Structure 1
């Protein structure tokens, strides 16, 4: 087993697989079922699927589609998008989802994290936290559904959701999303200093070296989208994933 998880993230928009840049302008990149099958063949050991339109449209998860995903996945599946109640989460777990990931529901009411953790166990609850740098380079907590910064300091929010019972944090560097420009290492380092639960860093990953640097700065795991679906300077769609021995070698010699 690898020392650190390396996790592909698939974004759904109206049932199709898309990729965004700085959380905007989603571009269609293919069929999600086909992508899942390719990741199966490449022996990926975990997958995150986020429906970016569910919460924006105020609808529940697409259970039929998620059931199809879960039946195709040979690896543990984390799902996020439109999950707002205990009933939503319970139905997803019944379909075979291993973890639920919440974002806007946690921003609206952090006690929902506690309710989920009490009912299903904290290991089943991930919270997606979006942070972006403003014009002056200051990091701000961001609500991706309302598309606006939040007043609470992002580090205070991390502490609050950890105390509420989150099992892990999916930390999104919004300003790095889809750019393939490298991760925000200062963001990762600052977040990891506040957390005792697993930190999954995402945003900007463009190479194995980026993954290693993210881990060296405190990430317990690294998630990526563009790195696994694009190839070359023209961003041709080609789903890929490193070989196990490449990842094993990447983390070799760590304490």
Structure 2
């Protein structure tokens, strides 16, 4: 039976880990391999790595660096950033990543989702959608390229298209709440749950364990992903990689 997952989401830039607020003001928070070693000991459900520079720079994933991460890791891994073809997805799976996330390239050419699903299986294909609230329309607008390019396609339409093309999971990333640690956008989460009946994860806003519980209460089985919660400690946001086991958070899990 599926249960909710507690997932650290780590951003990579120039070989290091960074944390942003509303996709801006990246702060260096450590070395990827050191973080993997710590999360290994904490028996993390899953770990997401996103290279925030790759798509903007138009380059492919840094496979040599990612090979080192995969070798060190003892937990399921998802990688996103610069993936633009099925061959790259296959190579990442071959390195030891269980899932490959695609974002900008899928908006440019949605058929890529089908090609990746055919190559590595739908269960390994993740679509990450970055959204920003649109106050006038009381909805959300999709952005790509690290929040720099606005997309015209409606969120509901793209979720439906992604499901039809074979995406095994969708990650919704709230730009407005990124790094703010004031809770997930639960209205957004409820809306997306109606749009896509496959595995869903949400990132952006978690500042406490209760925020994760609130997300699970709102939408059911879900991936509760977070960055700041797992890399900062205290009101002054001192850098400290940390994690609590899911059994500590939600009993036996749901």
The TM tier, using the shorter chain, reads: over 0.9
Match of residue 216 from structure 2: 215
Could you list the runs of 5+ residues in structure 1 that have no partner in the other structure? none
Find the counterpart in structure 2 of residue 61 from structure 1.
61
Between the aligned partners of 1:2 and 1:158, the Cα distance in structure 2 is 21
Match of 1:233 among 232, 235, 251: 235
Deviation, 1:47, is 0.5
Q: Does 1:18 align with 2:18?
A: yes
Unaligned runs of 5+ in 2: none
* Contact persistence 1:33–1:72 (CA under 8 A): yes
2:6 aligns to what SS in structure 1? strand
Is 101-110 or 236-245 further displaced after alignment?
236-245
Residues in 1 aligned to 2:165 and 2:97: alpha-carbon distance in whole angstroms: 22
Q: Find the aligned partners of 2:110 and 2:216 in 1 and give their Cα distance.
A: 28
When the two structures are aligned, how many residues end up with a matched partner? 252
Distance in 2 (CA, whole Å) between partners of 1:132 and 1:144 is: 13
Alpha-carbon offset, residue 245 of structure 1: 2.9
State the match for 1:148 in structure 2: 149
Deviations 1:174-231 (A, max 9, x none): 1000000100000000000111111101110011111111112215211100010001
Take 1:231 and 1:3, find their aligned partners in 2: how far apart are those partners?
27
SS of the aligned residue for 1:241 comes to coil
SS of 1:83 mapped into structure 2: coil
Is residue 92 of structure 2 the alignment partner of residue 92 of structure 1? yes
Distance (Å, rounded) in 1 between the aligned partners of 2:182 and 2:233:
14
Q: How does 1:126-141 map to 2 (within 5 A)?
A: 126-134=126-134, 136=136, 138-141=139-142
Q: TM-score, normalised by structure 2?
A: 0.95
Structure 1: 4+ residue segments shifted above 6 A: none
In the other structure, the counterpart of 1:82 is 82
Provide the aligned C-alpha RMSD in A.
1.6
The normalised TM-score by structure 1 is 0.94
Query: Distance in 2 between the 1:41 and 1:228 partners?
Result: 14
Tell me by how many angstroms 1:165 deviates: 0.6
Q: What is the rounded CA distance, in whole Å, between the counterparts of 1:245 and 1:221 in structure 2?
A: 15
Within 2, Cα distance between the matches of 1:2 and 1:166?
18
Q: 2:41 matched to 1:32?
A: no
Please state how far the C-alpha of 1:146 moved relative to its aligned partner: 6.4
SS in 2 for 1:197: coil
Q: Is 1:179–1:204's contact at 8 Å kept on the other side of the alignment?
A: yes
What is the alpha-carbon distance in structure 2 between the residues aligned to residue 145 and residue 153 of structure 1?
Answer: 18
The 2-side partners of 1:243 and 1:141 are apart by 32
- Whether the 8 Å CA contact 2:67–2:95 is kept in 1: the answer is yes
Q: C-alpha deviations, 1:137-194, integer Å up to 9, x for none? A: 5411112346132111111111111111100001101100000010000000000011
Shift of 1:2: 7.8
Name whichever of 141-150 and 210-219 sits farther off: 141-150
